[in-house]
Amino acid sequence: MSNSQVVDAVLMVTSQCPHCASVIESLAEMVKQGELASLEIINLEKKPEMAEKLAVRSVPWVKMGWFELEGLHSQKEFQEKALQAASDEGALDYIAEELQEGRVNKVLSLLDSQHDLIRHVLALLEDAEAKINIRLGIGVVMEEYAMAEWFVPYIARLAEYARNKDERVRADVCHYLSLTENKVAIPTIKAMLDDGSEAVREVAEESLEELREAGLQFPA
């Protein structure tokens, strides 16, 4: 495993935790084998503020890269998660699985601390045949974060999907662009007024009206 594929790990423990020693042993061995770059162990009895900061509800609690795990897991499971946390493909698969299983709140919690992972949510838009739970989950995520200040740099990336060959994807993108209530989205939405799909054109008209109602000034 190259350095570029190795993540750091943080482990939260307490002295009364029955499984923490086993997890410490597994993660320490992974550091020794080069499967983790580093391991930080924090005793919550000595630093209780860390539990609130990282929303830790039970121990052992492990963070590997962007990935979070609670409870007892085998070393093999930790190895699999470390690999997943170290790759874009792993992050995409994880988010897709969580949305498919209806665990949208876990994705929202992840994005709260790892904003850049929103790019994987947007990438899921490309699949017009994605399961309904995934598409509904994307909608929930967009409703939650489209107006967030940190999302502004991602508006241009969202707009790129307006060229998707599937009209369902283009319609969704048009709607999500309107949720941003940002003038940056206006040119793309206006261009979609000439889309070959009547359904997309209707969404574009509705989206522009929503932006007008939001008080945005349209360029001449």
The range of the structural domain enclosing residue 60 comes to 3-85
State how far the Cα of 4 lies from the Cα of 209, in Å rounded to an integer: 46
Residue 3 has pLDDT above 50, yes or no: no
> What CATH number should be reported for the domain holding residue 74?
3.40.30.10
From 66, 85, 104, give the residue that closes a domain.
Answer: 85
Same domain, yes or no: 106 and 41: no
Count of structural domains, the chain: 2
Same domain, yes or no: 67 and 108: no
State how far the Cα of 195 lies from the Cα of 96, in Å rounded to an integer: 29
From 27, 59, 85, give the residue that closes a domain.
Answer: 85
pLDDT tens, residue by residue, 16-64: 999 999 999 999 999 999 999 999 999 999 999 999 888 898 999 999 9
Q: 220 lies in a domain?
A: no
State how far the Cα of 194 lies from the Cα of 181, in Å rounded to an integer: 21
- Assess contact for 86 and 5: CB atoms under 8 A: yes
pLDDT for res 220: 56
Q: 218 lies in a domain?
A: no
Query: Where do we find the tokens 């924090």?
Result: 42
Q: Is the pTM of this model over 0.75?
A: yes
Q: 219 lies in a domain?
A: no
pLDDT tens, residue by residue, 148-186: 999 999 999 999 999 999 999 999 999 999 999 999 999
Same domain, yes or no: 105 and 81: no
Same domain, yes or no: 169 and 201: yes
pLDDT for res 196: 96
- Assess contact for 99 and 89: CB atoms under 8 A: no
From 51, 85, 119, give the residue that closes a domain.
Answer: 85
Same domain, yes or no: 75 and 151: no
Answer whether the bond into residue 187 is a cis peptide, omega within 30°. Answer: no
pLDDT tens, residue by residue, 188-197: 999 999 999 9
pLDDT for res 53: 84
- What tokens does 76 get? 């093999």
Q: 22 lies in a domain?
A: yes
* Crossing angle of helices 132-145 and 167-179, rounded to 10°: 20
State how far the Cα of 94 lies from the Cα of 112, in Å rounded to an integer: 16
Residue 1 has pLDDT above 50, yes or no: no
Strand partners, 43: 13
- What tokens does 106 get? 């876990």
Which DSSP state fits 163? Answer: G
Residue 4 has pLDDT above 60, yes or no: no
Nearest to residue 145, comparing CAs of 192, 171, 109? 109
- What tokens does 121 get? 């949510």
